[in-house]
């Protein structure tokens, strides 16, 4: 598989695409996020697996998102996600409210190619009345047992950052397995990686179990530091100064614009 640039990878995500992205602790492709914003992508349906933070907030603030499907968008210890909060208040994005288990169950159904996945624990939830794609049904194997059928989630694109790729296009994700679920459930996966390795990752018995085969991947870009300013396990930590500044300044549109300009100007992990 030929490797492409970050901008070329972003160009494969069209306006209106359903894009699945992982939570901040897994491997967020902030490099492609910046490229999408620079390109001016519009009307994305962002599927957060199962939550998101800075990535979703930047895309929403930049006007790239029309629908966000999530359990939460938050900057964690740095506080609320300011542009998401403003968009919800001003009704400039449609929010499809879910729960973490429900979003994961929907993706598992998509991964298996089945129409729905049964889920317990939310039968009495207020969300049931808000979700016409969730159905409370009788357990066909039980008596007086109600269960929720969660409709399969099949994103157009899974976008994430990973440890490494080989020249065949296989992607090593390490111990964080959400990348496998994202790639399996989606029509295709686009991945940025910290490094390119020689050989075939699927031939390595120590790593093969944590490899997304090239069959599921249609594009890879070499982007060392590609998760910055978020952290990436084993490589670099979260840039707390950047997130703290963003959380304060992005509460206003002018402050967000300043933060965004600074983030877009940084192509690689700062020294």
Architecture of domain 6-98+154-260: 3-Layer(aba) Sandwich (3.40)
- Helices 54-61 and 253-264, interaxial angle, to 10°? 110
- Other CB atoms within a 10 A radius of the CB of residue 17 amount to 17
- What span, in angstroms and rounded, lies between the C-alpha atoms of 98 and 83? 19
3-state secondary structure of 241: helix
Question: Does the structure show a pLDDT above 80 at 182?
Answer: yes
- What span, in angstroms and rounded, lies between the C-alpha atoms of 70 and 48? 5
pLDDT digits (tens, 9 = 90+) for 112-166: 999 999 999 899 899 999 999 999 999 999 788 999 999 999 999 999 999 999 9
Question: How high is the pLDDT of residue 177?
Answer: 82
**Mean of per-residue pLDDT scores for the chain:** 95
Which residue ranges make up each domain of the chain?
A: 6-98+154-260, 116-151
3-state secondary structure of 100: helix
Q: What is the pLDDT averaged over residues 92-105?
A: 97
Question: Does the structure show a pLDDT above 80 at 252?
Answer: yes
- Closest-CA residue to 104 (of 152, 52, 176): 152
Q: Are 210 and 137 in contact (CB under 8 A)?
A: no
Q: Please give the model's pTM, rounded to 2 decimal places.
A: 0.96
- What span, in angstroms and rounded, lies between the C-alpha atoms of 75 and 84? 10
Phi then psi dihedrals of residue 221, to 5 deg: -125, 135
């Amino acid at each position: 598989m030929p490797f492409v640039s970050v901008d070329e990878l972003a160009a494969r995500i069209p306006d209106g695409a359903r894009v699945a992205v992982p939570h901040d602790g897994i491997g967020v492709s902030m490099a492609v996020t910046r490229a999408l914003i620079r390109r001016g992508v519009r009307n994305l349906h962002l599927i957060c697996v199962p939550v998101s933070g800075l990535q979703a907030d930047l895309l929403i603030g930049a006007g790239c998102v029309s629908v966000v499907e999530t359990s939460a968008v938050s900057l964690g210890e740095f506080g609320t996600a300011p542009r998401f909060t403003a968009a919800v208040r001003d009704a400039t994005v449609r929010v499809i409210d879910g729960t973490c288990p429900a979003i994961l169950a929907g993706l598992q159904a998509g991964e298996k190619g089945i129409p729905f996945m049964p889920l317990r624990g939310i039968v009495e939830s207020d969300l049931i009345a808000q979700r016409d794609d969730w159905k409370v049904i009788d357990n066909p194997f039980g008596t007086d047992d109600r269960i929720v059928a969660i409709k399969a989630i099949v994103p157009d694109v899974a976008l994430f950052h990973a440890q490494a790729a080989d020249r065949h296009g296989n992607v090593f994700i390490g111990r964080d397995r959400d990348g496998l679920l994202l790639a399996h459930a989606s029509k295709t996966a686009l991945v940025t990686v910290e490094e390119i390795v020689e050989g075939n990752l699927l031939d390595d018995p120590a790593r093969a179990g944590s490899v997304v085969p090239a069959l599921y991947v249609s594009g890879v870009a070499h982007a060392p530091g590609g998760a910055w300013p978020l952290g990436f396990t084993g490589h670099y930590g979260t840039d707390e100064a950047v997130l703290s500044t963003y959380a304060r300044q992005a509460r206003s549109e002018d402050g967000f614009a300043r933060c965004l300009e600074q983030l877009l100007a940084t192509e690689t992990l700062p020294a």
